[in-house]
Amino acid sequence: MNSTGTLIVAISLMIIMFGMGLSLTRADFQRVAKNPKAVLLGLINQLIFLPIIGYVLVTTLNLAPEIAIGIMILAACPGGATSNVVALLAKGDTALSVTLTAISSIITIITIPFIVSFALLKFSGEGEEISLNIIQMIGQLLMIVIVPVFLGMLIRARATNFALKMGKPVRIASVILLVLIITGLFIKEKHNIIPYFQQAGLPTILLTGISMMLGYLTASGLKLRKPQAISIAVESGIQNSGLAITIAVVTLKNTAFGIAGAIYTLVMYLGAFVIILYGRYAKSR
């Protein structure tokens, strides 16, 4: 993408993260002390197990470098705002879902650059090794992710009624912007889109399915309540694909790295549909 397109992608994610901030309060962070076991397990699934699953998939499936790096970027990202809606529809613990999204969004500012740097070194094609300025990337993520979230939270705290009224329009705008970004990526990579779909389809499905199942099984194994297990599964399998695309386009300046994120955006709704059906209709323990 040209500089204008790159700027549009960055601004779009900032609007999405601002919308997330409008839905957050200090209580979402304070909830860690009240329910540390569930929060810690959810973060372990997101920050440790998910990147491992991504790495195993890309090395096992022998993917093209662009897709392999794109999958690793996805696996490094936190849960997205969509995960909170999915947790609600699946009768999960929505408060836990919101807490995990908020905390993982902050922690991954540090973890994402290192995972992405590793992926670039490991999977770049021969003679195409790409170096990454980790400090610069952390700075970009702070500006694009944390600052908008903080501003949203500040408005929520100081002008609650306004924030609640703005919540829905901003969410709608976020969806529209994400659709436009994905459309732009597909147009930019139109000559490669069919082979990219063929390569990225299976690993994105597996990434979503395996991470969700592992999240649910680890939560159940530790005797957490079913709603908590559902939320941990959702947070493990519904990632912030908008952030993954932004990293590819804005930070790495390579639209091909963002194709996996674009395809994942479509695939993750299949996993969301399955967990919603399970949560709403499976027998309660």
| CATH number of the domain that residue 74 is part of | 1.20.1530.20
Q: What is the mean pLDDT of the chain?
A: 85
The reported pLDDT for the residue numbered 155 is 92
Is 119 part of a structural domain of the chain?
Answer: yes
In a domain, 55, yes or no: yes
- Model confidence at 127, pLDDT cuts 50, 70, 90, reads very low
Helices and strands of the chain, counted as H and E runs: 14, 0
Q: Look up residue 246 and give its two tokens.
A: 């932004």
d(CA 234, CA 225): 14
Q: What is the pTM of this model?
A: 0.84
Eight-class DSSP state of 125 = P
The domain tally of the chain equals 1
Q: Is 214 a member of any domain? A: yes
Question: What does residue 224 show for φ and ψ, rounded to 5 degrees?
Answer: -75, 155
Q: Residue 5: pLDDT band by 50, 70, 90 thresholds?
A: low
Who contacts 237 (Cβ-Cβ below 8 Å, separation ≥6)?
A: 207, 208, 209, 211, 212, 215, 268, 271, 272, 275
Tokens of residue 237, six digits: 């399998």
Domain that holds residue 195: 3-280
How many percent of the chain have pLDDT more than 70?
94
Q: Is residue 263 part of a domain?
A: yes
Distance between CA 256 and CA 58 in Å, rounded? 16
Does the pLDDT value for residue 48 go beyond 90? Answer: yes
208, part of any domain: yes
Q: How far is CA 20 from CA 42, 101, 106, 167, in A?
A: 19, 9, 13, 8
- Residue 3 pLDDT exceeds 80: no
Q: What is the pLDDT of residue 74?
A: 93
Sign of the Cα pseudo-torsion (196, 201, 203, 207, in order): positive
Residue 26 lies in a domain: yes
Average of pLDDT values for 215-232? 94
With vertex at residue 247, the alpha carbon angle to CA 85 and CA 114, rounded to the nearest 5 degrees, is: 100
Residue 285 belongs to a domain:
no
**Looking at residue 191, what is its pLDDT?**
76
Any domain includes 200: yes
